[in-house]
Amino acid sequence: MTKRTWTTSHKAVAAALAALIMLATGARAELLIRITEGADAALPISVVPFAENGAIPPGDKISEIVRSDLAMSGEFRPLPAEKMLSLPSRREEVYFRDWRMLGQRYVLVGELSRNDDRVVARYELFDVNQEKRILGETAAASVNSMRTLGHHISDKVYEAITGVPGAFSTKLAYVTLDTFNGKPRYRLQVSDVDGKRAKIRLESQEPILSPAWSPDGSRLAYVSFETGKPAIYIHELATGKRTKVADFPGLNSAPAWSDDGRSLLMTLSKDGNAEIYRMDLATRAVNKLTNHWAIDTEAAYDHAGEGMFFTSDRSGGPQIYHKESLDSEPRRITFGSRYNARPRPDDKGDFVYYVHQRESDFHIARTNLKTGVETVLTRTGADESPSLSPNGQMLIYATKQSGKSVLTVISADGAAAYSLPSPEGEVRDPAWGPIVN
């Protein structure tokens, strides 16, 4: 879809920037408790409205999408367009002194043109202090996919500055609940990470929960009660084709994909008690990975893809455990309070994120796997279903606002970012999709 035209040394720039970013993140970490001050440490960036040549579809403006994406990350503070002194669209029109005066660190300029049924964006990102271009590219998308193009540019800008791939082009899956004709209506939906372009994938009067993305983003596994009892389904998003893969007596729940997309971890109670099993999707054969009178559930593969994290109440209350390999002895990870559940590890092996009870409230917390230090990340009090963005920078979870379930996104170190609007009913059970190339 894209063609790179920029060839300067990306690495050197990224290294220099990485140093800056580390300083910036370090500063931000201290602002955790005062979430409203998070913006002070955010990087000032100007996303100049793109010049338009030819028939560009009205509606969403690329620059607005990019500005909103970058603001959403909590790491950037985009300048409102009305405060800009000029509106350049190419390098020769950029006067660095103007942007320095406005306190800007970065400036993104660009222009859009029409090529048959596609819109082509040519854009450049400048470091204001160094008066240097750090990114230049052309990218194209169908005229109906302006938001796709906008999120793509956000990803590139984010990566050029932070050295970490952006996740603005990824998808969210979640479940909404409202009432229709006096009956509950559960809907499994997939949207952009900003909540836009939501599409309903499944509707049922019975609960739907625990959506989980396949590693390639093409399928969702989830639990649906549509037959009156919980069963695990795999849903191909492109075709809508669904397969019921686990419908044993008792629980069929908590699906989690292996890295190769060929097997699922799941919780079954067919042998009398909630245990974790691994199912080979080709043969549907299951083998049992836990064997304890306690509840064992909520498994997730670890970053190496060899072992797993899971919840067990074998100590008397739910706590997080880790198995180095699927058949090794579990090691307890959490000790900080009497209720810690639903682990979600990052993909570097640094942290595991989970639901943590402190006094009467439930928060999202993380434990540093090297030091064992636990940090509570949220200040809301009825938090559940944490899901990490694929670049490890953000975390989405469900919480309550005015008695209603809503989704909130924070940066992975806990600085507050944004809540997703929920125009009707409740929104819960978010799952952040993978980066798909």
Binding site for another protein (CB under 8 A): 207, 209-210, 225, 228-230, 250-251, 253-254, 267, 269, 272, 274, 295, 297-298, 311, 313, 317-318, 339, 341-342, 355, 357, 362, 382, 384-385, 400, 403, 429
Choice between 229 and 242, CB closer to another protein? 229
Q: Is there a contact between 352 and 363 (Cβ–Cβ < 8 Å)?
A: no
Choice between 87 and 376, CB closer to another protein? 376
Q: How far is the CB of 428 from another protein (least distance, A)?
A: 8
Calculate the CA dihedral of residues 259, 260, 265, 266 and round it to 10 degrees.
110
Choice between 267 and 391, CB closer to another protein? 267
Handedness of CA 193, 195, 197, 202 (dihedral sign): positive
Distance between CA atoms of 82 and 96, rounded to whole angstroms?
18
Choice between 228 and 240, CB closer to another protein? 228
Give the bridge partners for 311, in sequence order. Answer: 297, 320
Give the pair of three-digit tokens for residue 158: 């984010």
Q: How far is the CB of 318 from another protein (least distance, A)?
A: 5
Give the bridge partners for 280, in sequence order. Answer: 263
Q: How far is the CB of 25 from another protein (least distance, A)?
A: 29
Q: How far is the CB of 384 from another protein (least distance, A)?
A: 5
End-to-end distance of the chain based on CA atoms, in angstroms?
10
3-state secondary structure of 61: coil
Question: Residue 122 contacts by C-beta under 8 Å, 6 or more apart in sequence?
Answer: 110, 111, 113, 137, 138
Choice between 54 and 381, CB closer to another protein? 381
Choice between 44 and 317, CB closer to another protein? 317
Distance between CA atoms of 140 and 121, rounded to whole angstroms?
6
Choice between 50 and 186, CB closer to another protein? 186
Q: How far is the CB of 274 from another protein (least distance, A)?
A: 4
Q: How far is the CB of 373 from another protein (least distance, A)?
A: 22
Distance between CA atoms of 196 and 358, rounded to whole angstroms?
34
Q: How far is the CB of 205 from another protein (least distance, A)?
A: 11
Please give the order of strands across the beta sheet that includes 183-192.
199-204, 183-192, 171-180, 426-432
